[in-house]
Amino acid sequence: MRPAGPDTIAHAAAILRGGGLVALPTETVYGLAANGLDPRAVAGIFAAKGRPADNPLILHVPDYAAVAGIVDAPPAIAGRLAEIFWPGPLTLVLRRSAKVPEIVSAGLETVAVRVPDHPVARAILRACGRPLAAPSANRSGRPSPTRAEHVLADLDGRIDLIVDGGPTAHGIESTVVDLSELDRGGPPLLLRQGAIAREALSAHLPGLVDGAAIAPERSPGLRHRHYAPRARLEIVDNGALAERARALAGEGRTVGVLAGGVDDEAPRDPEIAGVRWLAFDGGLEGYARGLFAGLRTLDALAVERILAAAPPEIGIGRALADRLRRAAAG
């Protein structure tokens, strides 16, 4: 693990050009990057993560101009969305060109692309001169990494380099929108809720349809076990957290609580014996930033049960609710 800086960026770019694997920071979560045009390098991502081969990857590029080499005939709306949201946590699913290996897209005719909004990620992209396939830098199924030490815990010895760029800004993965069927009369599909809320997209993308049940195979993070801590997770209304925690502690269980809400201040710790209370201030955005790190903290404490505050399903709360439901199902 090396701190981000000019020498580290140059070293990372050399590794990537040589077909190696590098974990790097983005504004969403840490990504595990490989040369996205090298099938052998991309296969290394799947091996290091233990990722199912039918789970497509996102290609990261330094700017919208770089999209032209990896997609076929993007619709005009793709360029308009890029002007508004890129660099940033929006992934667009478009028709892939023949230059993109099938392993990147799990054999589909589409490819997911985005421009990350992190200076280290963009510097590495420019230095290596290749689109980078980069899913989250964790073992498949584990909570996504929002700090370099999370990557180290999951992938130490499995990859060539971890670039430490500090904690990520959003803590939740990108929003995924599918534009690949527009020329065939299909609607734009919202495949994955993420750091950009549906409300922000709808203002620029009329007719946006929830598409997770229509084409889940086109987006990462929809068809497999994800985000799961080791302990069983329950989603509980904010006002009932203390009561539920007290009941479980009364049964002799060790309990962890993730408390966050729509207001700036999360519920305070009632200091129940046997209960570790993690409160995330800053409203839903603060809850999102702390969610995956909180799950990892409670895993390290070996709690038997985790209680997570149910977020209101507005704005980024929809993405939070999605991640919590998947974690609870794990």
- Identify the band that residue 162 occupies on the pLDDT scale cut at 50, 70 and 90: very high
Q: 3-state DSSP: the chain helix, strand, coil percent, rounded to 5?
A: 35, 20, 45
pLDDT attached to residue 102: 96
Query: Of 218, 241, 267, which residue is a domain's last?
Result: 218
* Same-domain check for residues 239 and 179: no
Q: Specify whether 127 is located in the same domain as 250.
A: no
Mark whether 196 and 306 lie in a shared domain: no
Q: Are residues 259 and 149 in the same domain?
A: no
Alpha-carbon gap, residue 52 to 92, rounded angstroms: 21
Give the whole-angstrom CA distance, residue 310 versus residue 321.
Answer: 7
Is 96 part of a structural domain of the chain? yes
Q: What is the mean pLDDT of the chain?
A: 94
pLDDT at 268 over 60: yes
What is the rounded average pLDDT of the residues 170-178? Answer: 96
The pLDDT of residue 134 is: 98
Per-residue model confidence (pLDDT) at position 267: 85
Q: Based on the structure, what is the number of domains in the chain? A: 2
Q: Are residues 150 and 55 in the same domain?
A: yes
Q: Is residue 208 part of a domain?
A: yes
149 within domain boundaries: yes
199 and 258 inside one domain = no
Q: How many Cβ atoms from other residues are within 10 Å of residue 268's Cβ?
A: 10
Q: What pLDDT shows up at residue 266? A: 83
Question: How far apart, in Å, do the first and last CA atoms of the chain sit?
Answer: 29
**pLDDT on residue 262:** 74
Q: Distance (Å, rounded) from C-alpha 286 to C-alpha 129?
A: 34
pLDDT reading at 224 higher than 60: no
Long-range Cβ pairs for the range 10-18 (8 Å, 24+): 10/127, 11/161, 12/124, 12/127, 12/128, 12/161, 12/163, 13/124, 13/127, 13/128, 13/129, 14/128, 15/160, 15/161, 16/41, 16/124, 16/128, 16/130, 16/132, 17/128, 17/129, 17/130
- Of 209, 225, 120, 227, nearest to 168 by C-alpha is 120
Q: What is the CATH number of the domain that holds 278?
A: 3.40.50.11030
Q: What is the CATH number of the domain that holds 30?
A: 3.90.870.10
CA distance 23 to 163: 6
For the cut 60, the answer to whether the pLDDT of residue 215 exceeds it is: yes
* Final residue in a domain of this structure, among 194, 218, 242: 218
Confidence (pLDDT) at 226? 67
Q: What stretches of 129-269 show up as alpha helix (H) in DSSP? A: 148-155, 198-202, 241-250
Same domain for 246 and 116, yes or no, is no
Residues 270 and 324 in one domain: yes
| Judgement on whether residues 298 and 252 belong to the same structural domain of the protein | yes
Identify whether residues 12 and 41 lie together within a single domain.
yes
Q: How many CB atoms lie within 10 A of CB 54?
A: 11
Q: Contact at 8 Å (CB) between 253 and 304?
A: yes
The boundaries of the domain holding residue 118 are 2-218
* pLDDT exceeds 60 at position 225: no
Percent of the chain with pLDDT strictly greater than 70: 97
Q: Is residue 224 part of a domain?
A: no
Q: Are 99 and 144 in contact (CB under 8 A)?
A: no
What pLDDT sits at residue 216? 67
How far apart, in whole angstroms, are the C-alpha atoms of residue 56 and residue 109? Answer: 11
Distance CA 265, CA 283 (A): 7
Same domain, 179 and 273: no
Picking from 186, 218, 250, the residue at the C-terminal end of a domain is 218
Domain shared by 8 and 63, yes or no: yes
Backbone φ and ψ of 21, nearest 5°: -115, 130
Does 74 have pLDDT greater than 90? yes
Using DSSP's 3-state secondary structure scheme, residue 288 falls into: helix
